[in-house]
Amino acid sequence: MSATTETLGARGASRGARRRIGVGVIGFGWLGQAHSRSLLRIPTLFADRDFDTELVVCGDTLPERRDDAVRSFGFARSTGDWRAVVDDPSVDVVFIAAPNMLHVQLVEAAAAAGKHVFCEKPVGGTPEQTVRAEKAARDAGVISGVGYNYRWAPLVRYARQLIADGTLGEITNYRGRFFSMYGSDPLGVLSWRFLVDQAGYGVTTDLMSHSVDLAHMLLGPIGRVVGTTETFITERPVPGAAGSHYGRGRPEDPKAAVTNEDYAGMLCEFASGVRGTFEASRSMVGPESQMAFEVYGTKGALGWNLEKLNELQLYLVEDEAHTGYRTVFGGDRFPYHGNFVPGSANGIGFEDLVVIEDYEFCRSVAAGREHEPGFADAVDWVSVQAALLRSAGSGHWEDVVSLRED
Ligand SMILES: NC(=O)c1ccc[n+]([C@@H]2O[C@H](COP(=O)([O-])OP(=O)(O)OC[C@H]3O[C@@H](n4cnc5c(N)ncnc54)[C@H](O)[C@@H]3O)[C@@H](O)[C@H]2O)c1
């Protein structure tokens, strides 16, 4: 466990003792870098924090990424062997941002070494792995966090408030979707995301996990589902060593098979009686990054879409003179927004949500308290995923059986 240290040169009024949190990062691609950058930004954005993080060691198999971690991000050291991250005595928290099928062994090793663990969603590539990861963290008594970053969008927090305080009346139905175009080009390379042995399942794991997690936060558990999955682009060009899912091959490149699903859709009944639909796709053309939801109640409705993350669409029945949706702009009157920009309609961005989630996770670690969303919340999603996959096989409605072990 880390020692309490006095903070030097802190900005703002709160200059008391702050908890030092030594950080190790495993996987230094998109999200490993996003978390590292976010941790570096926290001191300038959250003056009232009660911790200070230190980037201790970065683990990645690619030497150029390791070099960048030290030279550009200021990690004290880097390694090609992830075990050196979890075993480092000056690391208190391990951030895991490696491909999904590596998650569970990394979580188990970090938890066994007594490190708190933040793992990118979905925490493993299969429901069984997520359950294992949750058990490992619980048995070791370490704090877990999971990268459901859309939970932290200021206008999503406001939507939750409008649902909870009854402004929308009784909720009747819900639509969740995550439509991305990252796999819409058949020449998009066969990165790890398209391979069951590296990613686990496809869009159910990668995208629908976000959609259903958000619905869980807003409306509670789902009781039963009926769903379907499909792979529309069955082979792709084999990438070079550092190819990401946004990379593009050439027509003459050798190709190999896609081994997980491009599309998933499901109809569901929430335990509360709300009816809902969810869809996720990575191969369709049109919506580029629509992580979006709509909520319909007896007194109003609302909708939010990552493509316009600083706007909430709101309809209120009581406003009889002006029917139709209005646009509520993001601004500093909503949670966290003012930490980034003052006023109204001055927007924040995708990575700012990562800053907020890292700030909140580190706060939980500094306070020594359980964090939400943690691995138990990840298990709630895979419980729904397991029912969806059963339904895609059986063609029938399937009950959601909770895989939580507590
Ligand atoms: N929350 C979000 O919005 C969001 C967005 C994107 C990705 N993710 C999640 O983040 C994780 C990583 O995704 P990404 O897009 O950053 O992937 P990426 O391919 O950009 O990065 C993965 C990194 O892991 C490294 N790696 C592979 N094997 C390794 C090993 N054995 N040891 C150490 N490093 C290894 C790779 O070299 C690469 O640098 C995934 O679990 C994904 O689901 C979450």
25 ligand 1 Cβ < 6 A: no
Whose C-alpha lies nearest to ligand 1, atom 36?
27
Which atom of ligand 1 is closest in space to residue 98's alpha carbon? 24
pLDDT at position 349, please?
A: 98
26 ligand 1 Cβ < 6 A: yes
179 ligand 1 Cβ < 6 A: no
151 ligand 1 Cβ < 6 A: no
pLDDT at position 281, please?
A: 98
98 ligand 1 Cβ < 6 A: yes
Which atom of ligand 1 is closest in space to residue 28's alpha carbon? 39
Q: Which are the contacts of 210, defined by CB distance < 8 A and separation ≥ 6?
A: 121, 148, 150, 178, 291
Q: Cα(283)–Cα(99) distance, rounded to whole angstroms? A: 20
C-alpha closest to that of 210 among 235, 179, 189, 241 = 179
147 ligand 1 Cβ < 6 A: yes
Whose C-alpha lies nearest to ligand 1, atom 25?
27
Q: Cα(401)–Cα(382) distance, rounded to whole angstroms? A: 10
CA–centroid distance, residue 377 to ligand 1 (Å): 20
357 ligand 1 Cβ < 6 A: no
CB 364 within 8 A of CB 377: no
Which atom of ligand 1 is closest in space to residue 31's alpha carbon? 16
CA–centroid distance, residue 328 to ligand 1 (Å): 34
pLDDT at position 88, please?
A: 98
Whose C-alpha lies nearest to ligand 1, atom 9?
120
Q: What is the DSSP letter of 189?
A: -
CA 391 to chain CA centroid, nearest Å:
25
Express each pLDDT in 189-215 by its tens digit: 999 999 999 999 999 999 999 999 999
| Radius of gyration over every alpha carbon of the chain, rounded to an integer in angstroms | 21
Which atom of ligand 1 is closest in space to residue 103's alpha carbon? 41
CA–centroid distance, residue 88 to ligand 1 (Å): 21
Which atom of ligand 1 is closest in space to residue 206's alpha carbon? 43
30 ligand 1 Cβ < 6 A: yes
102 ligand 1 Cβ < 6 A: yes
31 ligand 1 Cβ < 6 A: yes
Residue segments in the chain with a per-residue pLDDT below the cut of 70: 1-16, 241-245, 406
pLDDT at position 2, please?
A: 35
Which atom of ligand 1 is closest in space to residue 62's alpha carbon? 37
Residue 273, judged by CB atoms within 10 A of its CB (0-12, 13-18, 19+), counts as exposed
Q: Cα(36)–Cα(13) distance, rounded to whole angstroms? A: 25
Q: Which are the contacts of 270, defined by CB distance < 8 A and separation ≥ 6?
A: 174, 215, 219, 220, 221, 222, 223, 276
pLDDT at position 405, please?
A: 85
Q: Cα(49)–Cα(52) distance, rounded to whole angstroms? A: 8
pLDDT at position 239, please?
A: 86
CB 243 within 8 A of CB 189: yes
CA–centroid distance, residue 319 to ligand 1 (Å): 46
Whose C-alpha lies nearest to ligand 1, atom 41?
100
Rounded to two decimals, what is the model's pTM? Answer: 0.94
CA–centroid distance, residue 100 to ligand 1 (Å): 8
pLDDT at position 242, please?
A: 55
Among 25, 28, 31, 57, which is best to mutate for testing ligand 1, by the most ligand atoms less than 8 A from CB? 31
CA–centroid distance, residue 235 to ligand 1 (Å): 22
Express each pLDDT in 270-282 by its tens digit: 999 999 999 999 9
Among 35, 36, 58, 61, which is best to mutate for testing ligand 1, by the most ligand atoms less than 8 A from CB? 61
CA–centroid distance, residue 163 to ligand 1 (Å): 34
